[in-house]
Structure 1
Amino acid sequence: MLSVEKTMLFLLSKVEQMGAQQFVEIYQQRGYTSTYIRNALSRLKKEGYIASPSRSWYQVTAAGLAYIMAINSKPARYQEQWDQTWDVVMLEVPESERKKRDLFRSALLQLGYGPLYNSVYISPWNYRNEVAAQIRKLELEGKVSILQGQFLEGSITPLKAQSIWQLDKIHTLYQEKSDWLQQEFAPLMHEALEAGQPLQLFRLYLQMGEELSGMFMTDPYLPDELLPDDWSGKRVLQQMKEHAATLARAIPEDSFYTPFIR
């Protein structure tokens, strides 16, 4: 799922339902076209994350809410104590179902699993319920196994974790986000806070939401024992969340946008 689709899903989870035109009006302010937004809604509906109770109106489904909760809960892993156990997902999906296999692998990666071997994925955190939901959704029963345990041989060291999850690339991405915050976003946010215009504040809130969503889906949020000593993810992530919270607080209570941020 793209980060913009996730923020759309998040907005929809805050209200009973929304019309396609409402999405278009909000996201056109962010530079997205009507066609892009309507196609994104169609993809979310096709994937079962939203439903359409009437023409051009949408509401989030139970699967959509579960997805949001799973992805948005990932950063909290940084505060958890790891019990040294691993979740292992093994799959054997035939080539005739390659599309399902690719979708399942993509879901595993977004949850934070890393590829240990071909068709074997591991995570230090428990996402078994979320994985089971994906198995049911994609009708892969009997083709996926989920195990939990510890490594007796070939344990995962920080160096090995860096390779499995490509932590060097994620570290670079966080550094880029830090530069972007200081050089681009912070000045725009300062201007918006000074002006106090709800739409301008909400646009920046959405922009930060998309940036956060992208990191939520990219970062596996590994325990400290597996992270490099110079890992900047926690610090940068906290800064991004604080910026979003500042923008949310600045939007007046009686604004049209308030239900989407409270």
Structure 2
Amino acid sequence: MTDQQPLHTPRSLIVTFYGAYGRGRADHPAGRPVPIAALIRLLGAVGVDSPSVRSAVSRLKRRGLLVADRTQDGAAGYGLSEAARQLLDDGDRRIYGRTAGRSAGGWLLAVFSVPEEERHKRHLLRSRLSRLGFGTAAPGVWIAPAHVHEETRHTLERLDLASYVDLFRGCHLGFEPTAEAVSRWWDLAALARQHRAFLAAHEPVLQRWTRRRAVPPEDAYRDYLLALDSWRRLPYADPGLPASLLPADWPGGRAARVFMALHTRLRDGGARFVASALR
């Protein structure tokens, strides 16, 4: 039995689009604003209707991730906020540069204490550490591979949570074998099911593309955006644990190879479709 892939929500697809195609260029480091009409067309290509796009954009604007702006010809559009660009830049290191198998650097510990009257921040803190891929070593003590330090620091500072947390770097010295401890800190079976669900949804897509010579831009865009929207969650659920600490049949490496093959094959073709929509 495998877990189903999460649904592609309009909000998630918009974030994925900006991460893939909506960021800075040499002449406009913050990224040119995307006209709302073009965004509706681009999200329509992956099955999102116009009202859903507008509603999702409004929510992302309220969250401070998108900012209203005008295009060069005066049309209404939306660009990324500085916080959103930092979020996407941090994500690149995980999404496109998998660190699975990296064992140097040891572990990062996050030890936190939140006053009872601010328990809503305790919930937010736990939620964000979990999204960053931390496992639970003990109550109030969370653990991750040390290579997630910079991204963790950026996230905690961005959410005004840094004052509640102390970060430490160290090694596991016992008493149980580290591989056994890892199986307590993370739900490896659940992570494996997520990788297998990704493979079930997107490996057949890759197989179809390997039989095609031409790369029609709209087809490439659709398949790439959907694969990226599915994949970008996985490097956060699975923070890239050393291979020596994972089961022998771990599917994470295969899932990463499938995604990178789709990225190599489809991303540039998708960019041509985006360029045509933005003209």
Give the TM interval when normalised to the shorter protein. Answer: 0.7 to 0.9
Cα distance in 1 for residues equivalent to 2:162 and 2:194: 36
Cα distance in 1 for residues equivalent to 2:179 and 2:33: 45
> Runs of 5+ in structure 1 lacking a partner?
none
Q: Is the contact between residue 70 and residue 111 of structure 1 (CA under 8 Å) also seen in structure 2?
A: no
Return closer, same or farther for 1:93/1:46 CA change in 2, 3 Å cut-off: farther
Instruction: Quote the sequence identity (%).
Output: 23
Amino acid of the residue matched to residue 117 of structure 1?
A
Aligned ranges 1:247-262 → 2 under 5 Å? 247-250=266-269, 255-257=272-274
Match of 2:34 among 13, 18, 25: 18
Q: Is the contact between residue 42 and residue 274 of structure 2 (CA under 8 Å) also seen in structure 1?
A: no
Cα distance in 2 for residues equivalent to 1:232 and 1:106: 25
Alignment partner, residue 77 of structure 1: 99
- 1:32-78 per-residue CA deviation (whole Å, 9 max, x = no partner) reads 23333333333433333332235952222332222222222124312
> Runs of 5+ in structure 2 lacking a partner?
1-8, 25-30
Q: Check if 1:48 corresponds to 2:53.
A: no
Aligned ranges 1:113-132 → 2 under 5 Å? 113-132=134-153
Amino acid of the residue matched to residue 183 of structure 2?
Q
Find the residue that maps to 1:112 and give its secondary structure.
Answer: coil
- 1:94-140 per-residue CA deviation (whole Å, 9 max, x = no partner) reads 34434433333232222221121222211122333333333332223
Find the residue that maps to 1:126 and give its secondary structure.
Answer: helix
Q: Check if 1:205 corresponds to 2:224.
A: yes
Q: Check if 1:28 corresponds to 2:50.
A: no
Q: Is the contact between residue 89 and residue 145 of structure 1 (CA under 8 Å) also seen in structure 2?
A: yes
Cα distance in 1 for residues equivalent to 2:210 and 2:236: 28
Amino acid of the residue matched to residue 257 of structure 1?
V
Q: Is the contact between residue 201 and residue 250 of structure 1 (CA under 8 Å) also seen in structure 2?
A: yes
Q: Is the contact between residue 146 and residue 169 of structure 2 (CA under 8 Å) also seen in structure 1?
A: no
Q: Is 216-225 or 70-79 further displaced after alignment?
A: 70-79
Return closer, same or farther for 1:52/1:33 CA change in 2, 3 Å cut-off: same
Find the residue that maps to 2:137 and give its secondary structure.
Answer: strand
TM-score (norm 2): 0.77
TM-score (norm 1): 0.81
